[in-house]
Amino acid sequence: MSRRAVLAGGAAAALSSGGAGLAWWWNGRERLIEPSSSEVAHGEAARPHSGRTVRSALSAREGMAALGFQSAATWLYGGQLPGPAIRARTGDVLDVEVHNLLPQSTSVHWHGIALRNDMDGVPGLTGPAIKPGGRFTYRFTLPDPGTYFFHPHLGVQLDRGLYGPLIVEDPEERLAPDVEHVVMLDDWTDGLGSGTGPDSQLAALSSANGMSMMDMSNPGHAGVSATAPLGTDGGDVHYRLHLINGRGPDDPATLAAKPGDTVRLRLINAAADTAYRVYLQGHRLRVTHADGFAVVPVMVDELIIGMGERYDVQVVAAAGAFTLVGTPEAKGGRSARAVLRTRPGGGSDDALPPRVQGARTLTYDDLVPLGDQLPTRKVDRRLSLRLSLVGNAYKWALNDKVMEDMQHLSDSLRVHAGERVELTYRNDSGMFHPMHLHGHTFELARDGAPGPRKDTVIVAPGATVATFFDADNPGQWMLHCHNVYHQAAGMETVLSYRT
Ligand code: C2O
Ligand code: CU
């Protein structure tokens, strides 16, 4: 171990700027398993491999997003919104050359993929940032099929137009829909006038005073109920637009199919600060996958999707044009929409279709895994995280620590390869937090039965959520709230493998 630890003070700066090189902390007794460690290379070599390499390229640069009737100057992948879809199959090696034409450093993170640690795209932790003008080739095996996405892992860059779908097809797919569409939801503020960009939004939040923090800090004020499962404070930023596939509600994207087709919708929430309640006019949704993993199909009228979550749903398309709605949960703003169309003409009118009376909304309890459960075994290590605001400032904390002073926290989130880990979240704040663990999928704990596999889990105000995972992917892994503003305000830590 050549590098001594730096995680006090400079670490947050290193992580958010990506410019200061790897920032390691070491307590002298245990060795950190670094991204460059042989364990990481061995783990990659052991992943089942199809023998195929899928090559792709992404350029990150400034550009205009059309958004439908209102365009915005922003940052994009490949000049388009969403960025170009990347498709491969389980066991393929993905080889993506990223060219950074942005005025700042960036990185690409492959959200939800249990990949080799040194390709995880977290500057300062798993590798260097890509400097302006620079290039980096990400190359890794795709171990699991499913719906994923990619985005930068620096500051609040995700709240610009930098995101795109990553679809890993399953060669053993049983459900075989007739048609499939990717549906990416996003909250949009960038480039809609001066001071609307994500950096300005973060600066405004950071200068807010203690009074406005009252409701955010108190789970008792959160207003959680059956009809408001995430409470009544659904986000920190006001968004003028909510998008599906890069289009605002005035010029919605069309999802084409034929009447009677079985249509798969791969729903991805790429928003920074908004969960959506999603429903499709005239259809029930058959939920088949959560965060890429198959579940026993369950029929619902609507579902709530948090930032970083994905659901695959199937519908049997009726004849006509039907509005797919994504209503911002517990915050204002016009709903995102797209149109499922099986016939030309006719269509979806301006008025949003009403939600079904007494709608059946998906809950995590409805999700029963179909295969891929963790084997039953005893827990080797119990970790817990308390989610809260600290002080009278916009500082979101894990176990009362924000990223700048996480030296001790990181030490408490250490694991050893091979352990079964229980990780419990307790939300002592008035806002929901979609907690995301890199490099692993966990199982939601459930009495007497296996819970679903996920990589992102919403923890509602006042709630406690227990998860289990096997420490089977050595390295240094981010664990954070997928509200990008919460993350930037400190709500992130590292799951740290040691020997
Ligand atoms: Cu979707 Cu740490 O990321
Ligand atoms: Cu959060």
For ligand 1, whether the C-beta of 438 sits within 6 Å is: yes
CA of 64 to the centre of ligand 2 (A): 29
Q: Scan for tokens 């009677």, then name that residue.
A: 260
Stretch (H or E) spanning 84: none
Ligand 1 touching residue 454 (CB < 6 A): no
Question: Are the C-beta atoms of 212 and 392 separated by less than 8 Å?
Answer: no
Model confidence at 13: pLDDT above 60: no
pLDDT in tens, 370-412: 987 889 999 999 999 999 998 888 999 999 988 876 555 566 7
- Given a cut of 80, is residue 14 above it in pLDDT? no
Kindly give the number of the ligand 1 atom that is closest to the alpha carbon of 480.
2
Q: Is the CB of 486 under 6 A from ligand 1?
A: no
- In angstroms, the CA 21 to CA 124 distance is 5
Reduced to 3 states (helix: H, G, I; strand: E, B; else coil), residue 41 is helix
Query: Which secondary structure element, helix H or strand E, spans residue 486, and what is its range?
Result: helix 484-488
Query: Separation of 163 CA from ligand 2 center, angstroms?
Result: 20
CA angle, 199 as apex, 196 and 202 as ends, to 5°?
Answer: 95
Which ligand sits closest to the CA of 425?
Answer: 2
Report yes or no: 319 and 343 within 8 Å, Cβ to Cβ.
yes
Beta bridge partners of 396: 389
Instruction: Tell me how far apart the alpha carbons of residues 406 and 56 are, in angstroms, rounded to a whole number.
Output: 36
State whether residue 311 is helix, strand or coil. Answer: strand
- Helix/strand/coil for 44: helix
CA of 320 to the centre of ligand 1 (A): 37
* Residue 478 in contact with ligand 1 by CB distance below 6 A: yes
Q: Is the pLDDT of residue 349 over 80?
A: no
**Above 90 in pLDDT, residue 3?**
no
Instruction: Give the separation between CA 496 and CA 499, rounded to whole angstroms.
Output: 10
308 in ligand 1 pocket by Cβ < 6 Å?
yes
The amino acid occupying position 334 is R
Global pTM value = 0.94
Across 93-97, 208-212, 372-376, least confident range:
208-212
**Any idea how long the chain is?**
499
- Cβ of 480 closer than 6 Å to ligand 1, yes or no, is yes
Of ligand 1's listed atoms, the one at least distance from the Cα of 478 is: 2
**In degrees rounded to 5, what are phi and psi of residue 40?**
-70, -45
Q: How far apart are the first and last CA of the chain?
A: 12
List the structure tokens of 365: 């309890």
In this structure, the residue with its CA closest to atom 3 of ligand 1 is: 111
The residue contributing the CA closest to ligand 1 atom 1 is 111
How far does the centroid of ligand 2 lie from the alpha carbon of residue 434, in Å? 6
CB of 270 sitting under 6 A from ligand 1: no
pLDDT in tens, 19-57: 333 344 555 678 889 999 999 999 999 999 999 999 999
Q: What is the pLDDT of residue 8?
A: 28
Q: State whether the beta carbon of 434 lies less than 6 angstroms from ligand 1.
A: no
